[in-house]
Amino acid sequence: MRLRTARLTLRRWRETDRDAFAALNADPEVASDLGGPLDRSQSDAKFDRYVATFERRGFCRWAIEDSQQLFLGYAGVMPSPPNHPLGPHAEIGWRLARPAWGRGYATEAAAAAFLDAFARVGLDEVLAYTAGDNARSQAVMRRLGLQRDAARDFSHVYDGKPWDGLVWVARPGAQLRQALTQV
């Protein structure tokens, strides 16, 4: 199973992605939005969680590669973990290696993931959240036509680190379709 855009392929995870995924998660600048880098065991646990989630639910974060099949990072929708402060929901996220920043890849990949989540998976709402100081992710959310929902902002602990999130919402409809066609 693959999703294709003009410049990217979003695909299921392969065991051969594990090292590149660990390198992505170990980069302090890339991982700064969730409190810092992950060590190899934390990265491997996250990788295993993504693979298992697709097997169980039929969707998860997708590995992203460019036309040269270079691993760029990930983007996609995940079901919320048990006991999340917002209750059960689906959440979109992305993380790209620094050389891939500033090229519109996050917006392009997230748009493909949204279309898949709404059309194939049949979700009726997807949340996105980011730290208040993560202007890059907030810009992606605006370009994608997501709506800010401050009433759902929350605090949580991720990988043992406290984090405060701003919440944005996407629902299938004319406004989102229009935003996605402009990506």
pLDDT band at 174 (very low <50, low <70, confident <90, very high): low
3-class secondary structure, 47? helix
**Domain extents for the chain?**
2-181
* H/E segment holding residue 148: strand 147-148
**Percentage of the residues of the chain whose pLDDT score is greater than 70:** 93
Give tens-digit pLDDT for 88-120: 999 999 999 999 999 999 999 999 999 999 999
The pLDDT, as a whole number, for residue 176 is 65
CATH class of the 2-181 domain in this structure: alpha beta
- The pTM for the full model equals 0.91
pLDDT of amino acid 72: 98
DSSP 24: H
CA-based nearest residue to 127, from 161, 156, 103: 156
* Mean residue pLDDT across the chain: 92
The pLDDT tens digits of the residues spanning 124-162 come to 999 999 999 999 999 999 999 999 999 999 998 876 778
CA angle 94, 156, 126 (to 5 degrees): 45
pLDDT score recorded for residue 36: 83
pLDDT (tens digit per residue) in 28-80: 999 887 678 999 999 999 999 999 999 999 999 999 999 999 999 999 999 99
